Structure 1
Amino acid sequence: MLRTVGGEHAPLKHLPLLDGWRAMSILLVLAGHLLPIGPSAWRLNAPVAATGMVMFFTLSGFLITRFLIEDGNIRRFLVRRLLRIVPLGWLGISIAFVVAGGGSAREVAGNLLFVANLPPSSLVAPGAHFWSLCLEVQFYLSIALLVAVGGKRALMVIPLACIAITCARINWHQPITIVSWFRADEILAGATLALIYEGWLGERTRKLVSTPSLFLLLPLVFASADTRTGFLPYLRPYLSALMIGASLYNAPHWLRKICEWRMVTYVAQTSYALYVFHGILIHTWLGAGDTLVKYAKRPLLLAATVVCAHVSTFHYERRWNSWGRRLTKRTPEHYPSESDAANAPVSTNAIVDPR
């Protein structure tokens, strides 16, 4: 049933499977950036990391769009999302410039305003991975503007925008890039999945998503993250969204239970901070040296990344997130009645954020 502005509805329920996908995505990114994967001649590291990134973006688009379907309050959305990503983003950017030994005014401004991934790029080496944060913030602002202007129903243009970006990638021969207008279809495919999952695009599309086997799609997603696979990289956003969507409908019971393991949910919770700190620390002494020395220090680098991520997630970031919830606390009329509450699913606030 289509959720509309002002309509009565129960809050969206938490989907533990998404914690599993988020944990898998960050582990793939860390493996691709920090570990030797296969013989060097196979060049598997970049595809592994790109597989993790497309999962990240799919989850982001899916969760953000579901949040707006449920609520539609732009102020609440922006306050919570920006306080979720900006404080750690700015902290990481500041540390990256310290590690880099400084930067130009253009580089500092580009990073703090989250436009550093746009040409001409103003990313610095210790913060090169912050291109994804730039894309994320740009998506938040764009989708907020879309709903502010056209209401929730304006979300229906997302599938068209996604296809348009993919067509642009094909036309300009961009199988993979960090530039927003050639990469945003990975987020928009996840947003389209949310529209399908919530019934906005009809029952036929929902059945189409629920049919494939996620275990057959997973190797296809990995192959689509490798630029050596011909046309397949242009389908990467859709293969990832289809894989995650299929899992929501037909994932086996044992996989659903694994996604509820404490270690899996912990990795999912700390995924944003793990991403921020690993890319910075690899440009410090922990990542320096020849091949043998560098990999000998990998356990120390990983341990430092986990410690920093834990402190950030459960101390630094938590304060900002709590402040955001207090600033945007819903008025009583937004909550279901006491009789409804007993049967209502868990609020989307319980969903671990993608970033």
Structure 2
Amino acid sequence: MTDISATRLVVSRPVADSSARTRLGYLDGWRGLSIALVLIGHFFPVPGINLGIVGVEFFFVLSGRLMAEILFVEHYPLKKFFKRRFSRIYPALLVFVVAAMVALTGTFVAFKWKAALTALTFTYNYAGILVTRAGALDHIWSLCVEEHAYIILALISVVVSGRSRVIVLLGALSVLAMANGAISYWVLGIGYEGSYWRTDVHIASILLSAVICLLQADDRLPALLKGPHVALAASVVAVLLFMAAVPTPIHYLVAVPLLALAVNSLDFSSRYLTGFLSSRPMTMLGLWSYSLYLWQQPFYQFVDIQGSSAWLMLAAVFACALCSYYIVEKPARSWLNRNW
């Protein structure tokens, strides 16, 4: 998933650049944990729980926290915000889609330009349900949700004034999105993809985290939720609620709010949890997470459908992802940020 800088505001006034922000290693590590869960869920599945889905939710709640800080606390200039999002996201995505379309030609996961176009225009989460679907691009649905959230939250930051109004609006939209998902899945009988790939449903994960972040920024989060063990306890309970035996809507009505609380409570957590998340292996995984996210899907298809060696395919994922990060993602981002 995409990388919004894992930083936190360290001054009380609005700022316009990252110089007034301090990088928090445990948020990078949270991103690393997210991609680790996705990789484990796809290549070494644990019976009774889809850790790939859990990992995506870890990504979403982190994005909600960071977007809230950037857009509503720091009031980051929108022009610069979207330029940096583009430089971070699009070059690596474009290279992945084109390279995968060429490399997978003739295989069972080959896809054509129409599917590629929906990925590159961030419409795959709807097109994959209604028009055309490609297994090698199925993970792009979550990237689409995140990009749509950027636009919606940026628009709200311009149109709605006053932190309290923003919190109320985001909270109301979260409730509506969660209810929409539950009705789609339970009442209308629409399947998982048809219900939970949609932005009008899954944006709740991002918005809920944004709400909790803003409550914390205003010092309106109850003291009970600032304890040193809240983040760990909420995360563990949330993961347990994602067990296959638990009805799918409960994952999003109960477990996701707990994850949103967890990521926003990390600031108060014990040094054992933050130390683990800040460790070099976790932060490096976080650094590479977007490229790993992009490249894992085609190789996962070979493991899941053709029974290819999970270890061999995972090694290929890391090889492609590291090339993507160091040859495409990092240099393109640096060049565009300097020259655009």
What does residue 228 of structure 1 align with? Answer: 245
Tell me, yes or no, if structure 1 residue 59 matches structure 2 residue 62.
yes
C-alpha distance in 2, partners of 1:224/1:272? 26
User: What is the deviation of 1:177?
Assistant: 1.6
User: What is the deviation of 1:17?
Assistant: 1.5
What does residue 263 of structure 2 align with? Answer: 244
CA contact (8 A) 2:64 2:209 kept: yes
What does residue 198 of structure 1 align with? Answer: 217
What does residue 83 of structure 1 align with? Answer: 87
Give the one of 76, 86, 101 matched to 1:97: 101
Give the one of 110, 118, 141 matched to 2:118: 110
Letter matched to residue 125 of structure 2 = N
C-alpha distance in 2, partners of 1:79/1:9? 14
Tell me, yes or no, if structure 1 residue 124 matches structure 2 residue 143.
no
Structure showing greater Rg: 1
User: What is the deviation of 1:306?
Assistant: 1.2
- Structure 2 length-normalised TM: 0.81
Shift in alpha-carbon separation, 1:229–1:138, aligned structure 2, 3 A: same
Alignment of 1:10-49 (within 5 A): 11-38=20-47, 43-44=48-49, 46=50, 48-49=51-52
What does residue 327 of structure 2 align with? Answer: 315
Shift in alpha-carbon separation, 1:121–1:245, aligned structure 2, 3 A: farther
C-alpha distance in 2, partners of 1:197/1:323? 35
What does residue 216 of structure 1 align with? Answer: 233
Shift in alpha-carbon separation, 1:260–1:218, aligned structure 2, 3 A: closer
C-alpha distance in 2, partners of 1:273/1:246? 27
User: What is the deviation of 1:138?
Assistant: 1.0
CA contact (8 A) 1:287 1:301 kept: no
Give the one of 186, 198, 201 matched to 1:179: 198
Identity of aligned residues (%): 23
Letter matched to residue 82 of structure 2 = L
Letter matched to residue 238 of structure 1 = P
C-alpha distance in 2, partners of 1:158/1:6? 22
Shift in alpha-carbon separation, 1:89–1:166, aligned structure 2, 3 A: same
Map Cα deviations across residues 114-144 of structure 1 (whole Å, 9 max, x no partner): 1111141533111111111111111112222
Alignment of 1:292-307 (within 5 A): 294=308, 297-307=309-319
Cα RMSD over matched residues?
Answer: 2.9
- Structure 1 length-normalised TM: 0.78
C-alpha distance in 1, partners of 2:300/2:313? 7
Equivalent residue pairs, number: 311
